[in-house]
Chain A
Amino acid sequence: MTRWAMVADLRRCVGCQTCTAACRHANATPPGVQWRRVLDMEFGEYPDVRRAFVPVGCQHCDDPPCRDVCPTHATRKRADGIVTIDYDLCIGCAYCAVACPYQARHRTLRAAFAYDKPMENETKRRDDARLAVATKCTFCVDRIDDGLAKGLRPGVDPEATPACVNACITQTLQFGDLDDPASNVSQLVARTEHFRMHEELGTGPGFYYIWDAKEARS
């Protein structure tokens, strides 16, 4: 079996937002809609203040609440763990948006552009099928599927890897098959201290956050 997952090493992220820009470029999302965001979080009070940059987006959960609540079967989970949306089935009820504990789902009611009129690239890449329906990070599923068809390895070969991971300047983001013990993500998860966001909700996110080296805490 295959379980595609993403790992974010919080010790490495510098909050450059290159992943956000790469995602927007790869997926042509409208202004304001970021399938891959990087949160700038502060903790503590002066003078003891800590800061963390946290990449967030769809966590491609094992048990996604968005799938269970969807009245149309537009949201599904593939056998490899990727949660998908069929834009032709979605009625845009936004039930999935309020069911998602990760604020990963977006619904844009009308076409939006960076300026008053669409630029040439915006006109060219406009996709009305994605208007007024739920959208979210797909783990760049088309790149993964195309890459696999060509015999490439997602997470290793850039052509088969999500755009945000390819673009990450600090190698904070890694992608791979969690069911393969030899994969980069399995190795990272095995040798580091990590957590998953809002794990208490039982959603089983496919997105791991590394916060320390394992040997440092043993």
Chain B
Amino acid sequence: MTYPPGGYAPYGPDPWQQTSWDARAAGNFVCGGAGSGLIVFAALSDAGGAALASLMLAGLALVGLGLFCVSLELGRPLRALNVFRNPLTSWMGREAWTSALLFPAGLAAAMGVPGFVWVAALLALAFVTCQARLLQAAKGIPAWREPLLVPLVVTTGLAEGGGIFFAANPWHGTGTLWLLTGLGALVLLRIVVWLAYRRRLADALAHGARGALDRAGRVLQLAGTLLPLAVIAAIALGVVSGRDTAWLAALAGLAAAAAGAYVKYTLVTGAGFNQGFALAHLPVRDARAR
């Protein structure tokens, strides 16, 4: 528990929303995932030159913004470099080391050094995986420790990055139909993982966490899945064409990214209920000898 200067956190036998990580920590998962996804999509696209450099730098900026957000949550930010001390067991340590490799690789890719686009993409994948495992290693939070959270956070991050890639497509113009179809497949995979994740957690969540996830789930289904898939299908089937295509793809991308960000924000700040305390047996108090 973290005790803010303004007051003290409640505690009791029943589960309550954790108070240690707030929007700043959520910002790391939202921006880090989106940045990683953007780097992966930039690598998969036909982008080159200034477009590739812009996309790579935007991806790195998002990852950096996420790390900056989480640094604001550190109690002792001047010791932040200690985060590199334990990559052997800590996913936070691994996330830090991966980011330390991702930035130079991404910069090299942005500068056009051959081969580094793929190195950066692999490191971005590793980074978003570290974030997912980081959250899943938090055993105190039932909604986080569920193993299906790992594919959920990874697919969400990639879909967010793909969404931002297509939201910016009217400017960089390097999006292709197969890449847009790839975003559609990711969005579809994300909702499948989400539904499996929710089914697995059906009986394991506190009332407040369940409500928060249900709200996020509705946003994910409507704005994050149905809308982008409808637009992508319309484009792929040739229902729309011409200049409208780029703007509609941008709309689909924005919806996919925003819904994913909302899900991750909710996971941290609304569904982070602990499991409280429970007794396996009630004490037997009677006149028997002790």
Contact surface of A with B, Cβ cutoff 8 Å: 9-12, 30-33, 37, 39, 41, 43, 50, 52, 54, 56, 65, 67-74, 89-95, 97-103, 105-110, 112, 131-133, 193, 195, 197-199, 201, 203, 209-213, 216
Residues of B within 8 A of A195 (CB): 279-281
The 7 closest A-B pairs by CB, nearest first: A92-B75, A132-B75, A10-B283, A94-B20, A32-B8, A195-B280, A71-B93
Instruction: Known A-B contacts: A70-B86, A108-B3, A213-B284. Give 17 more (CB < 8 A).
Output: A12-B290, A39-B277, A41-B277, A43-B279, A54-B277, A56-B277, A68-B137, A71-B82, A91-B74, A91-B79, A92-B74, A93-B73, A94-B20, A98-B140, A103-B11, A132-B75, A211-B281
The CA-CA distance from A32 to B4 in the complex, in Å, is 11
Q: Which residues of B contact A72 (CB under 8 A)?
A: 79, 82-83, 85-86, 93
Q: Determine if B201 is an interface residue (Cβ-Cβ < 8 Å).
A: no
| Cβ–Cβ contact B20 & A71, under 8 A | no
Contact partners of B247 in chain A: CB under 8 A: none
Q: How far is the CB of A65 from chain B (nearest CB, A)?
A: 4
Assess the B279–A71 pair: CB atoms within 8 A.
no
Which of chain B's residues have a CB closer than 8 A to the CB of A131?
75
The residues of A that contact B73 with a CB separation of less than 8 Å are: 93-94
Query: Are A103 and B140 neighbours in the complex by a CB distance under 8 Å?
Result: yes
In the assembled complex, the CB of B17 is this many whole angstroms from the nearest CB of chain A, namely 11
B1 at the interface (CB under 8 A from A): yes
| Interface SS of B by simple majority | loop
- 8 Å CB contact of A197 from B5, B84, B278: B278
A93 to B96, CA, bound (A): 13
Q: Assuming the A-B contacts A98-B20, A107-B75, are A71 and B86 also in contact, with contact meaning beta carbons closer than 8 angstroms in the complex? A: yes
A31 to chain B: which residues have CB within 8 Å?
A: 8
B2 to chain A minimum Cβ distance, whole angstroms, is 4
B41 at the interface (CB under 8 A from A): no
Question: Interface readout for B130-148 with A: 1 if CB under 8 Å, 0 if not?
Answer: 0000100111110010000
Interface pair A213/B289, CB less than 8 Å apart: yes
Contact status A103-B75, CB under 8 Å? no
Q: Which residues of B, 58-108, contact A by the 8 Å Cβ criterion? A: 70, 73-77, 79-80, 82-86, 89-93, 96
Q: B274 at the A/B interface (Cβ < 8 Å)? A: yes
Q: With A73-B86, A101-B275 as given contacts, are A199 and B139 in contact (CB-CB < 8 Å)? A: no
Closest beta carbon of chain B to A197's beta carbon, Å:
7
Residue pairs across A and B with Cβ atoms less than 8 A apart, 6 shown, are A91-B80, A94-B2, A95-B134, A108-B2, A198-B278, A211-B283
Interface contact A100-B140, CB-CB below 8 Å: yes
Chain B nearest Cβ from A41, distance in angstroms: 5
Task: Name the contact of B274 in the complex, choosing from A33, A89, A103 (C-beta under 8 A).
Answer: A103
**Known contacts A37-B11, A73-B85; A99 and B75 CB within 8 A of each other:** no
